[in-house]
Amino acid sequence: MQAENKPVRALFVGFGNVGQKVAEILFLERERHPNVRSLDLRVVGIVTKSRGSLVNNNGVDVVKALQEIREGGRFSWTNFELTNIKGLDAVRQLDYDVLVELSTLSIAQKGEPALSHVREALNRGKHVVTANKAPAAFAYHELTSLAHDKGVSFLIESTVMDGTPVFNLAKHGLKAASILGVSGVLNSTTNFVLSRMEQGESLEAAVTIAQKEGFAEADPRHDLEGWDASAKITVLANALMGASLTPYDVDRQGITHVSVADAQTAVKAGKHLKLICKAWREGEQVKTKVALEEIERGHPFAPIRESGSILMIETDLLAPFVITETEPTLSDTAFGVINDLMSLGS
């Protein structure tokens, strides 16, 4: 799309931390990031649940929008671009090239409303970029085949390990390989909490710190009960191993039952408690599991502390290899969204 020298028209649904960071990088910090400059993005709509919604067919004033959120927590009542449009209506009616779906994952609602937004956009022949795990965790094959039929992209790089290349790596770097299994530590909050519990901090105190540092949600149960990890391993199983699973199919365990004594006993035995995500093949089936495991000190997953993530990929031809994300920030997730926006149609 870039080759045509026409701006890419984007509709943002959801404009929380990730959406704002995407906008900051592209509209405020553009000069500091030379490789994003070739992306000419025109935002024709920003639809949110609690911050108001902006629509402008000639391009929303993104700098002003960011400033309003910073100052008032929402788009200003005086902003002439302000409308009452809802997400699904915007997806159905506005004139855009790509839907940027950044709403929050809802396991209880089986991925809605994000799933419907994505399905509708693809049906209209629009590209979709999403950092929301829901669509790929609940309907990966339906959506990829719909995108294929319509000749558009459905890109999800930021759904697992933030923007660290996982899906791009597999799509381009593992064409000749069959992926036999993936495993890793994929949820920052639980890994951070377990690291702190090893040092004697209580689960509750550690969660409070994780919330302050900005990577745990206000309601941390989604992380602590293993749902975020389950969604991630489902996306990996669906996208990399051809499975058709949902997060409800994962053999799931969380960390709410872990005590400080458990964490410290493991350390004394030279081990670390980690919430490990796994997908593997059993005959024609792909199985998935999220479970607390004792990891030996020499294991590739042992060095991952605090908020980092790690993923091991096993294939039929390559020796197992590992991707480690050291200290992710919001920029990492925003990067993945921007990288996807630069990959539309390719």
Q: Between 81 and 157, whose beta carbon lies closer to its own copies?
A: 157
Contact range with its own copies by CB under 8 A, out of 135-143, 266-274, 282-290, 295-303: 295-303
In whole angstroms, how close is the CB of 159 to its own copies at the nearest point? 14
CB 110 within 8 A of CB 23: no
Q: Between 45 and 308, whose beta carbon lies closer to its own copies?
A: 308
In whole angstroms, how close is the CB of 33 to its own copies at the nearest point? 5
Cα 236 to the center of its chain, rounded Å = 12
CB 239 within 8 A of CB 167: yes
Q: Between 25 and 105, whose beta carbon lies closer to its own copies?
A: 25
CB 189 within 8 A of CB 214: no
Q: Which residues of 111-128 are buried (b: 16+ CB within 10 A; e: fewer)?
A: bebbbebbbbbbeeebbb
With vertex at residue 165, the alpha carbon angle to CA 338 and CA 243, rounded to the nearest 5 degrees, is 110
Neighbours of 104 (CB within 10 A): 12
- 321 touching its own copies, by CB under 8 A: yes
> In the set 11, 13, 18, 25, which binds its own copies (CB under 8 A)?
25
- 303 touching its own copies, by CB under 8 A: yes
- 242 touching its own copies, by CB under 8 A: no
Q: For residue 273, which of 301, 234, 310 has the smallest C-alpha distance?
A: 301
Residue with tokens 């709410």: 256
Strands 321-325 vs 98-101: parallel, antiparallel or unpaired: unpaired
Which of positions 145-174 make contact with its own copies (CB under 8 A)? 157, 162-165, 168-169, 171-174
> In the set 143, 226, 331, 344, which binds its own copies (CB under 8 A)?
331
> In the set 58, 77, 175, 218, which binds its own copies (CB under 8 A)?
175
Cα 163 to the center of its chain, rounded Å = 8
Structure tokens at 244: 């058709």
- 318 touching its own copies, by CB under 8 A: yes
CB 311 within 8 A of CB 301: no
- The contact mask relative to its own copies for 177-216 (x = CB under 8 A, - = no) is xx--------------------------------------
Residue with tokens 């790929």: 136
- 28 touching its own copies, by CB under 8 A: no
Q: Between 120 and 325, whose beta carbon lies closer to its own copies?
A: 325
In whole angstroms, how close is the CB of 106 to its own copies at the nearest point? 27
**Phi then psi for 321, rounded to 5 degrees?**
-130, 160
Residues within the interface to its own copies (CB under 8 A): 25, 32-36, 39, 157, 162-165, 168-169, 171-178, 298, 300, 302-303, 315-329, 331-332, 334-335, 338-339, 341-343
